[in-house]
Amino acid sequence: MTDGSPSRRRDATRSRELLLQAAGELFGERGFDRTTTRDIGERAGVDPALIARYFGNKSALYIAVLRAETGDTPPPDLLDPERLRALFERRDRRGAGPVFRSAVHAHDDPAVQDAARAQLHLRLVDPLRERFARDGLDRPQLRAEVATAAFVGVLLARGAGTLDELAAADSEELLPLVLAALRSLDT
């Protein structure tokens, strides 16, 4: 006779996987702000309360989705035009999630803030710092943080709609302008 633990463990693992998959799909379709935990639970076919149990909250689930998508391998830096294009497209599809927001506003949950900060550094700051250091530039960390802040600022301001031209501009029109601004830090 078994106590049910292995079955329960398999169900927990499966539920967690289903939540990650559903959250990734919904964040991709609707963005972070327009996705509710109820929507995620319904898409996953599990109780949305399991999000709190397995992840803590929606922001922590978002960060778990990012980790699942890319792991811990740093992507190309922001001076790579294709990387920049992909980030613009992702922002246009998903909106600004906790990672971008962590650059300008601390999250209420310190654990989520720490995880978002770590992802921001892994994905944006660190690859630039490494490039600037390889290029022998002074203060590579500072340059990388300024470039990241400028890039995130453009993305967040674009979504806020308070800068009319920026909000209305096509991503393809913005890419060379943003790339030129970022490249000015690589001299």
Res 1 pLDDT > 50: no
| CA 108 to each of CA 8, 60, 166: distance values in angstroms, whole numbers, following the listed order | 32, 12, 29
- 2 touches 37 (CB < 8 A): no
Say what the pTM is: 0.75
CATH superfamily ID and name for 1-71: Homeodomain-like (1.10.10.60)
Indicate the SS3 state at residue 80. coil
Q: Which of 103-107, 119-123, 143-147 has the highest mean pLDDT?
A: 143-147
How much is the average pLDDT of 33-57? 93
CA-based nearest residue to 23, from 47, 52, 54, 58: 58
- The residue extents of the domains of the chain are 1-71, 73-187
- Is pLDDT of 72 > 70? no
The SS3 of residue 55 is coil
Could you tell me if 116 and 99 are in contact, meaning their C-beta atoms sit under 8 angstroms apart? yes
